[in-house]
């Protein structure tokens, strides 16, 4: 198994640092975030050390995706939340603090006061231009 001795999440997986684990199998661990947006905020991680989304192999990513749905549903029900955010930050520029791929499951309430970032409008012609650039990179 790929592991990184300096990684705090690898240490949680190895049992060297305590955590409130809520789910564990061969490939995946889920535990509570210690600074939750709302109580129940859960992190879901692969047990192997991959830095971010881009490094995750197909099988692990597919297994995690099903767990996000099933654990998210159970956690939301357990804490009596009204909604659920999935979040994943990849690289420091996106707010990633621990360089071991992790998904956030965040329970939400109508009245919890958290606001999403507001978007902007594209300038004339900009949207088509950006779409063309992306399509070329995908091909």
Binding to a second copy (CB under 8 A): which residues in 29-88? 31-37, 39-42, 53-54, 56, 58, 61-62, 64-66, 68-75, 77-79, 81-88
Q: Which of 49, 102, 104, 116 is catalytic?
A: 102
Question: In sequence order, what DSSP letters do the residues of 105-139 get, joined into one string?
Answer: EEEE-TTS---PPP--PPPTTHHHHHHHHHHHHH-
- Report the site for a second copy in 93-112 (rule: CB under 8 A): 93-96, 103, 106, 108-110, 112
Of 14 and 57, CB closest to a second copy: 57
Question: CB–CB of 99/7 below 8 Å?
Answer: yes
Nearest residue (CB) to a second copy, 5 versus 26: 26
Residues 6 or more apart from 63 whose CB is under 8 A from it?
27, 28
| Alpha helices, H only, 3-57 | 8-13
Q: 2 vs 87, which CB is nearer to a second copy?
A: 87
Least spacing, CB of residue 13 vs a second copy, in Å: 17
Asked if residue 18 binds a second copy (CB under 8 A), the reply is no
User: What CA–CA distance (Å, rounded) separates 21 from 136?
Assistant: 43
Q: Which of 3, 8, 51, 89 is the binder for a second copy (CB under 8 A)?
A: 89
Give φ, ψ of 22 to 5 degrees: -115, -20
Closest CA to 78 of 35, 28, 20: 20
Residue among 7 and 56 whose Cβ is closer to a second copy: 56
Dist. CA 95–CA 134, nearest whole Å: 23
| Catalytic site includes residue 49 | no
Least distance between a second copy and beta carbon 98 (Å):
13
**Catalytic residue annotation:** 102
């Amino acid at each position: 198994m790929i592991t990184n001795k300096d990684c705090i999440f690898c240490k949680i997986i190895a049992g060297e640092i305590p955590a409130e684990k809520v789910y564990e199998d061969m490939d995946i661990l889920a535990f509570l975030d210690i600074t939750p947006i709302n109580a129940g905020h859960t992190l879901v991680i692969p047990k192997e050390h991959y830095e971010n989304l881009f490094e995750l192999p197909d099988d692990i990513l597919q297994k995690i995706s099903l767990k996000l749905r099933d654990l998210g549903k159970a956690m939301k029900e357990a804490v009596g939340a009204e909604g659920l955010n999935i979040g994943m930050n990849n690289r420091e520029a996106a707010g990633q603090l621990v360089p071991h791929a992790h998904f956030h499951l965040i329970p939400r309430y109508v009245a919890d006061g958290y606001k999403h970032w507001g978007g902007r409008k594209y300038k004339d012609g900009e949207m088509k231009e950006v779409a063309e650039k992306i399509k070329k990179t995908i091909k």
